[in-house]
Structure 1
């Protein structure tokens, strides 16, 4: 895929330019993948939301998704490029959906986080600092804040991330 190819090229190039760097080429490739995923998603969200007129809402969705995902984990797509495209699509479509019962979406998302979160496969950074119970409570607190904020964008963003935590995705 596109991002993976660019990451591979850049990591090989970086390692060639600095062969004594302590990180091996695979670690560099992985980190470049992450940066390009965030950058690619941000660019796509900005470009797409220019057409929808929902720039602030789309960027809000992206930001809050990243925040809650840090604490909840969730399924990873096999391709960084696919992740970038799907993420941008989600963040651009969410502000276009009309929601009348925000509280119901908050309750569903919070319930999913309570019973199925957190869902980490390989990430150890956040899990090493918090217990599963603490991570659940943080996710539920974040979602619960939307009972005060009352934002349809936040409600749908929380629900979309909660879906990625469900154990329906296999390995």
Structure 2
């Protein structure tokens, strides 16, 4: 669905500005990313308000996105599925409650996973040269470490979900 919307919009843009240097494929890809991101933000924030967990939803969105930017991770094949799965994950994680001890343990597990697997498949979402991948690993570890001071259960759960997406399953390239 997202891909169809992006394709229709890209064709409309190209019809109105045929001399623009961006190709149809580039426009479609860029629009798909924008539609995907906007859809996730709107859906999760509306659901956060409806479920009265807006602050937790914001914490999950920010922590997940920040870690994902520096660590990479598994990608779904469809933008529509990405919106559905990400929205469901954010909604579920924003309702997580756990003890301080469990929060610390989950943060420690996320730290270990980030140290072992970050960055994973980062080349699919950035143009950062491979020589900087060790820096991305350190940034991932530092970011996860922040929750040792925050002690947030939802941030711990968010980081755990993201670091599980770093594990190089079949077809996923680590580093």
Give TM-score scaled by structure 2 length.
Answer: 0.91
> For 2:108, what is the secondary structure of its paired residue?
helix
Q: For structure 1, which runs of at least 5 residues remain unmatched after alignment?
A: none
Aligned to 1:64: 63
Taking the aligned partners of 1:123 and 1:34, their CA distance within structure 2 comes to 10
Aligned to 1:113: 114
> For 2:94, what is the secondary structure of its paired residue?
helix
Q: Deviation digits for residues 74-117 of structure 1, max 9, x if unmatched?
A: 11100001001111111111121222211111111111111111
Aligned to 1:88: 87
Aligned-residue offset at 1:169 = 4.8
Matches within 5 A, 1:1-171: 2-100=1-99, 101-120=102-121, 121-125=123-127, 127-128=128-129, 131-171=132-172
Taking the aligned partners of 1:137 and 1:46, their CA distance within structure 2 comes to 30
Taking the aligned partners of 1:58 and 1:130, their CA distance within structure 2 comes to 34
Taking the aligned partners of 2:36 and 2:170, their CA distance within structure 1 comes to 21
Taking the aligned partners of 1:134 and 1:80, their CA distance within structure 2 comes to 29
Q: For structure 2, which runs of at least 5 residues remain unmatched after alignment?
A: none
Taking the aligned partners of 1:11 and 1:128, their CA distance within structure 2 comes to 29
Q: Give the CA RMSD over aligned residues.
A: 1.5
> How many residue pairs were aligned?
169
> What stretches of structure 1 move > 6 A for 4+ residues in a row?
none
Aligned-residue offset at 1:130 = 6.2
